[in-house]
Amino acid sequence: MKFPFQTVALIGKYKTPGITEPLLRLAGFLTEKGLSVVVDKLTSDHLERHDYSEAELDEMGGAVDLAIVLGGDGTMLNIVRTLAPHRVPLVGVNQGRIGFLTDISLDNMLPTIGDILEGKFVTEQRMLLQGSVLRNGVEVFKALAFNEVVLHRGNTSSMIEFEVNIDNEYLSTQRADGLIAATPTGTTAYALSAGGPIVHPALDLITLVPVSPHTLSNRPIVLASKSVLEIAMNRAGDVWLHCDSHSSFQLEENDKVVIGRYAEPACLLHPVGHSYYHTLREKLFWNKAP
């Protein structure tokens, strides 16, 4: 991470009504601080006219020191997957509904960003997964996931059957609607609704959570982050592999899915005093009396 920051990327959830005013307000604030501002091209196309530089998202990796994302967790997922390989730190301003990853509110956006520019922030490293598909020994698909890599049947498919190996050791043959390999970040997403545990994002591990398994003894399992999963498709049909619901690939019988930790972590910056447990209380309504 390069600090102090000199060039800042602004990326917005461009379909959100009212994105123009807060994004351009933030751009003006950064300019007054003497920083160079680069606006994501797709975001810029949905803004009013402005005089800031533009760049495609996949061009920003080596060109910016910090990326500020205005949107929800879904927006942040895509940005993280693109910029994490370039070690660009990210800050999230929440314009969505949940806000596990985008923890700065619009109301205190400017003073909080001002503090971060002065070095008053908490740095958090979070792991990603990489999922790939081998067909007849040839890699035909590869993508990153910040939340989870999911093997799941489609709308027209019956229960699927697959074999799970961990570090070249056979674990089990399963029949289920699917299987979720989640990062600690992803344990509060799809894996949680499937009965998986909540894991603190500072931990290095992978949770493996079955989706509607045929055998009730088939339960979630926690693996070391260095583990490599291999899932062999014994029976397929309308079966898909999803990486954060952003990248998808249809599987065939005898395909092999390989899932492992990606080498570069994502770097998130939070305001001083940030608490994961406070986030859980607020977002999961644990602070409400039963």
Residue 58 near residue 52 (C-beta atoms within 8 A): no
Query: For residue 206, what are its two tokens?
Result: 């992978």
- Using alpha carbons only, how large is the chain's radius of gyration in Å? 20
Q: 45, 65, 73, 244: which one is catalytic?
A: 73
Distances in Å between the Cα of 46 and the Cα atoms of 25, 55, 69 are: 15, 14, 15
What are the start-end ranges of the H helices in 95-231?
A: 109-117, 190-193
Please measure the distance between the N-terminal and C-terminal CA atoms of the chain and give it in whole angstroms.
44
Q: Catalytic site residue 73? A: yes
- Dihedral of the CA atoms 18, 20, 21, 24 (nearest 10)? 160
Residue with tokens 């890699």: 139
Catalytic residue list: 73
